[in-house]
Amino acid sequence: MWHQMRGVVIENFPKASAIPTDIKAYMKAVEEHYAEDAYHSLSIEGYRVTAELIERVRDGNWNPDGNEADREARNAMAARGYYQAFQAVKESIKKILAGKNEGEVTDTDHSDWYRELFAPSVVSGILKPSDLAGYRNSQVYIKGSMHTPLSAEAVREAIPTLFELLRNEDNAGVRAVLGHFIFVYIHPYMDGNGRIGRFLFNTMLASGGYSWTVIPVGQRDAYMAALERASVDGDICDFARFLGGLVEKRDSL
């Protein structure tokens, strides 16, 4: 799959910029995208979040121990989890910009992103810490999709292969597009795959000097249709063009 799709991605995705030398400035720009990214990524998944809620959890004004509404609010927990995962993703990007291999970093760190994403559900008692250990143990299905993700057994072979491909791929655009696509194609977790896939996309963009790129909830239908075509028909062209257009627009700002 990777080798069949690689050339199509290269033809339809903008060329990488120089890898940033001013890591502090790049990370400042990433942080500036946090609120926008959190709103759109969570909204794509159906959470009802507001700019006020996102800023409140970033500022630390989220108290599941002392505030019953915060403890029980699904949207607040999702927003807090996204914030915590975003911080972990930034640490991964720093390692990559400092010269570490992007495939090795994300192979090691993506499980941390996942745990942070759902840590508030552990704090609230909805999940047990053991629920966040490892990949899923049962079949998962995607609502509204004809694609059936890999079996739980196949996940354990496919994920190491994905990160090996990322480790050895020299084109950052290919890493970004196919890293995102194949991760959600595999769907290794029971929940959170889309958010982790978009984090992986932006981490790989950083490895090529691209700007952090938000996938707008207003373009959710086009995004999901392109993913569906890649997953069901094996045609990555629309997905590469869709993401490439967003990257070009972001880099031109």
Determine whether the annotation assigns residue 198 to a binding site.
Answer: yes
| 3-class DSSP assignment, residue 92 | helix
How far is residue 37's CA from residue 213's CA, in Å, rounded to a whole number?
A: 8
DSSP 211: P
Give me the DSSP letters along 115-139. HHHHHHHHHTTSS-GGGGSSS-SS-
Q: What interhelical angle do 172-186 and 193-207 show, nearest 10?
A: 170
Catalytic one among 40, 110, 180, 187?
A: 187
Long-range contact pairs involving 214-222 (C-beta distance under 8 Å, separation at least 24) = 214/33, 214/36, 214/37, 214/40, 214/41, 214/246, 214/250, 215/40, 215/41, 215/44, 215/243, 215/246, 216/40, 216/246, 217/39, 217/40, 217/43, 217/44, 220/44
Determine whether the annotation assigns residue 170 to a binding site.
Answer: no
| 3-class DSSP assignment, residue 49 | coil
How far is residue 226's CA from residue 229's CA, in Å, rounded to a whole number?
A: 5
Determine whether the annotation assigns residue 192 to a binding site.
Answer: yes
Determine whether the annotation assigns residue 71 to a binding site.
Answer: no
Checking phi first, is residue 125 left (phi over 0); if not, alpha (psi -120 to 50) or beta?
left
Determine whether the annotation assigns residue 107 to a binding site.
Answer: no
Is residue 110 part of the annotated active site? The answer reads: no
Determine whether the annotation assigns residue 193 to a binding site.
Answer: yes
Binding residues for ATP: 191-198
Could you give the residue numbers annotated as active site?
187
Binding residues: 191-198
